Amino acid sequence: MFLRNTASYQNSNLQICSFLEGPLTPMEQETLNELLVDCLRDIYDAEKQIVKALPKMIKSAENADLKEGLANHLEETKEQVSRLEEAFQALGENAKSKPCKGMRGLLEEGSEVLSDEEPGVMMDLAIVAAAQKVEHYEISAYGTAATIAEKLGNQKVAKLLRKTEEEEKSADSKLTEVAFELYDTEEATEEEEDEEVETVGSGAKNGGGRSSTRK
């Protein structure tokens, strides 16, 4: 049900500029600049939504590494919001956000899981799955925006965006690690239960039904 995420993002930066070979005309420059500002407004809103959504996920998570990882990423996300404000400033633009429907949808789906599942390994795996969708959105958004900034020759903005992109990638791989850990826990629990079933089945122990090892 929960697939291990093995995708590589090495080449994920959209090659939107391959058709813009050579130096940009002033017209192209202007269009790309508008596109960049638009991307930043989207992701600025997305990051602020994430800052609001993470505390509930942290509260619902049971696994200590998951809790800690999400809590660290919350702090990181707050810095990413400031980093975007720096990028706006470097572009001479007001830090304005534009409602990010994509992130709203991802977070809405994520919060359904929080109300449907009981706390435990399955809930934690569902939180990882939801959080990774968020990270992938961000990796894509920052990768694209950074590529545009580079094409515009704005190294300052490009560097800010690449830095956040790297943080999102590392948040994503940490979530993959937590998922492995959770699968191991889940397998261990299942094995224990199988053993118990065998013992009860052979009629050796207490005749009065088995008690579950699961919380």
Q: Is 120 in the site for Zn ion (CB under 5 A)?
A: no
CA distances to 49, 76, 90, 161, 183 from 1, rounded to whole Å, are 27, 29, 44, 33, 11
The C-alpha atoms of residue 81 and residue 64 are separated, in whole angstroms, by 26
State yes or no: residue 100 binds Zn ion (CB under 5 A): yes
To Fe ion, the closest distance from the beta carbon of 198 in angstroms equals: 44
Q: Out of 57, 107, 168, 179, point to the residue binding Fe ion (CB under 5 A).
A: 168
Closest separation in Å from C-beta 152 to Fe ion: 22
Is 12 within 8 Å of 143 (Cβ atoms)? yes
Between 100 and 134, CB nearer to Zn ion: 100
Give the span between the Cα atoms of 80 and 92, in whole angstroms: 18
Spatial contact of 127 and 61, defined as CB atoms under 8 Å apart: yes
Measured in whole angstroms, the distance separating CA 150 from the mean position of its chain's CA atoms is 24
Q: Which amino acid is at 103?
A: M
Give me the least distance between CB of 127 and Zn ion, in Å please: 21
State yes or no: residue 47 binds Zn ion (CB under 5 A): no
* Residue 102 interacts with, from Fe ion, Zn ion, none (CB under 5-8 Å by kind): Zn ion
Contact positions vs Fe ion (CB under 5 A):
47, 77, 80, 138, 168
Contact positions vs Zn ion (CB under 5 A):
42, 100, 102
